[in-house]
Amino acid sequence: MRNLQVAERLNEIAERNGGCLTPEDVVADARDKDSPLHEHFDWDIDRAAHQHWIRTARALISSVRIVVTNNKTTVWSPAYVRDPSLDGREQGYVSVVKLVTDTDLAREAVNAEVATVLAALRRAKNIAHALELDDALDELLGDVLLLQEKLERV
């Protein structure tokens, strides 16, 4: 019921703006305590600021890259990835350089990245299906699923 109210309100906001939905418009609507969106926001300025700073810190951590050269290939790799040894609710990152010396943790980190790719491909496939364009993604999704299975066996 709640998700339906949110979806309806977002549709109303988009319709008021010619079909375009922006985060600014959503926040503006949500400021009204009677809006079904209001309860989804943290209106405590200090807590909200802290959450914003945490998101900024995550973006900074994710922005750092290192140059990795293997054989004849050079790539720019993220310097830090989510630490796969942590519980799903725990936050933390581990250096890719450290993963080089821990093959089990490295495998878990790569599997987590592939799971992220799969989630993005499934989302893209669902969008493509809604637009009747999903045939193009079937083969790619299948290939990534095979890769995931292969990595789990290593």
The percentage of residues in the chain with a pLDDT greater than 90, rounded to a whole number, is 51
pLDDT, residue 147, reads 85
Q: How far apart are CA 122 and CA 53, in angstroms?
A: 30
Q: Is residue 1 predicted with pLDDT exceeding 70?
A: no
What is the SS3 assignment for 57? Answer: helix
- Residue 76, beta-bridge partner list: 67
pLDDT digits (tens, 9 = 90+) for 123-151: 988 898 888 887 777 778 888 888 888 87
Q: Are 120 and 131 in contact (CB under 8 A)?
A: no
What single DSSP character describes residue 79?
S
pLDDT at 69 over 70: yes
- Please give the pLDDT value at position 7: 93
Query: What is the full DSSP assignment across 12-49?
Result: HHHHHTTT---HHHHHHHHTSTTSTTGGGS---HHHHH
The 3-state secondary structure of 103-145 reads HHHHHHHHHHHHHHHHHHHHHHHHHHHHCCCCHHHHHHHHHHH
Domain boundaries, the chain: 42-153
- pTM (global) more than 0.75: no
Average pLDDT over residues 82-91: 87
pLDDT of residue 138: 79
Q: What is the pLDDT of residues 108-119, one digit of tens each?
A: 999 998 889 989
Rounded average pLDDT over 103-111: 91
Q: What pLDDT, in 10s, does the model give residues 4-61? A: 899 999 999 999 988 889 999 999 999 999 999 999 999 999 999 999 999 999 999 9
Alpha-carbon gap, residue 16 to 127, rounded angstroms: 24
